[in-house]
C-alpha cells in the first residue's frame, strides 16, 4: 500500500501542475489580447479606406416596393426567361452557392459556354458598374443583357419576352401590383426594374462590418494579421471601399502577363475587346472580395480554383511581391471575415409554391 505521504505528495504535485497550466494559459491569453490590441492600433491607419456595408442599395430611378421585390424574386428563378426554358438567372447566379455556379464559365440556354466567369449577384447592386468590362451602369441595365444574349438566355427580342409573360395570368397581376401607375405594366424595362429591385435586396453584412463599426473582437488575431498584410502588401490599392473592390478598373497583369500565372488558355483583352484601344488592353473591373471564399473559381475566366493560389498570383502579377506561406494563410483567414449570409428567404425558389 502506498504511504500517506506519497499520496499527499502526488496530490500536491497535481495541484501545482494544474495551477501552473492555468497560469500559462492565462499568460498566453493575455499575450494574444495584447497582440490583438497592437494589431488594432496598426490597422487604424488603414480602416478609413473601407466602409461598413450599407443597409440598403437604393436606386432612386427604380424605387422599390414589396410587390416589385416579390416579382423580381420570381423572375430571377423563372426558366421561362430563357428561350427553351433551360436556364434562369439563378442557374448561373445560384443563391444557395453565394450567387455563383462555381463553374469556370456557365452553360447557356443551348448548352454553349460563355467566355467569362459569372460573377456573384450578392452585393452587386453596390458596384459602380456591372460585368467584367463595366458595360452596364447598374443591376437594372445588367438584368436585360443576358436575356437577349444568344449564348446565355437566347430570347430573340424584347417583344418576344414581353408577350410570353403577358400570356401568364399570374404575371399580369403581379406586374400590375408592382407597377400600379403604368397603363402597360408588362414591359421589358419593367422586367429589368423588377429583377434589379430584387437584386438590391441581396446584401450580405459580415464580421468585417462589425469590426469597422468598432467591435474589435469581431476579428481573430490571425484575421487581423491577415488584414495588416493585405494592406502592407498593397492589395488595398484596388480592393477598398465597402465592397473591398467593385469600384474601379485595373490592368490584370501589371508586372507580368496574367496568363503565365493563371494558365489561361484564352487571352482575354478585357475592355479593349469593346474599345479596341491599347490603353484598355487587359483592363477588367476589380471584383468584390466579399464572400470570395465561396465564389470560386477565380478571375474573369475562372482559371484558378484555389483561393490561396489566387491570392499568391495577385500579389505576384499585380504587385511584384512573393508572399510567404504564412502571409497567404493569414490573408485567406482575413478574407473569411468578409463572408456574410445570403438572406434565407431568397434562397427559396418562390415558383415552387405558386401557381406560376
The answer to whether 248 and 261 are in contact (CB under 8 A) is no
Give the side-chain half-sphere CA count within 13 A for 204: 27
The answer to whether 203 and 123 are in contact (CB under 8 A) is yes
152 tagged catalytic: yes
User: What are 182's three cell numbers?
Assistant: 403604368
User: How many angstroms separate the first and last alpha carbons of the chain?
Assistant: 83
The answer to whether 342 and 69 are in contact (CB under 8 A) is no
The answer to whether 117 and 110 are in contact (CB under 8 A) is no
- Residue 260 preceded by cis peptide, ω within 30: no
- The catalytic position among 140, 152, 199, 327 is 152
Catalogue the active-site residues. Answer: 152
Amino acid at each position: 500500500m502506498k504511504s500517506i505521504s506519497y499520496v499527499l505528495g502526488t496530490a500536491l504535485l497535481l495541484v501545482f501542475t494544474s495551477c501552473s497550466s492555468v497560469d500559462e494559459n492565462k499568460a498566453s491569453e493575455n499575450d494574444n489580447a495584447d497582440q490583438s490590441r497592437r494589431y488594432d492600433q496598426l490597422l487604424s491607419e488603414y480602416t478609413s479606406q473601407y466602409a461598413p456595408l450599407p443597409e440598403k442599395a437604393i436606386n432612386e430611378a427604380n424605387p422599390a416596393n414589396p410587390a416589385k421585390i416579390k416579382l423580381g424574386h420570381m423572375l430571377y428563378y423563372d426558366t421561362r426567361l430563357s428561350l427553351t426554358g433551360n436556364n434562369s438567372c439563378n442557374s448561373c447566379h445560384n443563391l444557395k452557392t453565394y450567387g455563383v455556379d462555381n463553374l469556370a464559365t456557365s452553360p447557356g440556354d443551348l448548352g454553349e459556354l460563355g467566355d467569362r466567369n459569372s460573377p456573384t449577384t450578392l452585393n452587386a447592386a453596390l458596384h459602380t458598374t456591372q460585368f467584367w468590362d463595366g458595360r452596364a451602369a447598374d443591376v437594372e441595365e445588367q438584368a436585360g443583357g443576358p436575356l437577349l444574349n444568344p449564348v446565355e438566355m437566347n430570347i430573340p427580342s424584347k417583344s418576344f419576352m414581353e408577350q410570353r409573360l403577358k400570356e401568364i395570368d399570374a404575371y399580369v397581376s403581379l406586374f400590375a401590383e408592382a407597377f400600379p401607375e403604368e397603363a402597360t405594366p408588362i414591359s421589358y424595362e419593367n422586367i429589368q426594374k423588377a429583377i434589379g429591385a430584387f437584386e438590391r435586396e441581396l446584401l450580405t453584412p459580415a464580421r468585417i462590418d462589425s469590426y469597422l463599426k468598432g467591435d474589435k473582437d469581431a476579428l481573430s488575431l490571425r484575421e487581423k494579421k491577415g488584414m495588416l498584410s493585405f494592406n502592407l502588401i498593397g492589395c488595398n490599392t484596388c480592393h477598398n471601399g465597402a465592397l473591398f473592390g467593385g469600384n474601379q478598373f485595373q490592368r490584370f497583369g501589371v508586372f507580368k502577363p496574367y496568363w503565365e500565372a493563371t494558365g489561361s488558355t484564352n487571352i482575354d483583352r478585357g475592355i479593349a475587346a469593346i474599345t479596341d484601344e491599347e490603353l484598355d488592353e487587359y483592363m477588367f473591373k476589380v471584383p468584390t472580395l466579399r464572400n470570395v471564399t465561396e465564389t470560386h473559381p477565380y478571375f474573369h475566366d475562372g482559371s484558378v480554383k484555389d483561393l490561396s493560389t489566387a491570392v499568391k498570383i495577385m500579389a505576384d502579377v499585380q504587385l511584384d511581391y512573393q508572399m510567404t506561406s504564412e502571409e497567404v494563410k493569414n490573408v485567406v483567414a482575413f478574407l473569411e471575415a468578409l463572408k456574410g449570409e445570403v438572406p434565407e428567404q431568397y434562397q427559396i425558389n418562390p415558383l415552387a409554391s405558386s401557381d406560376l
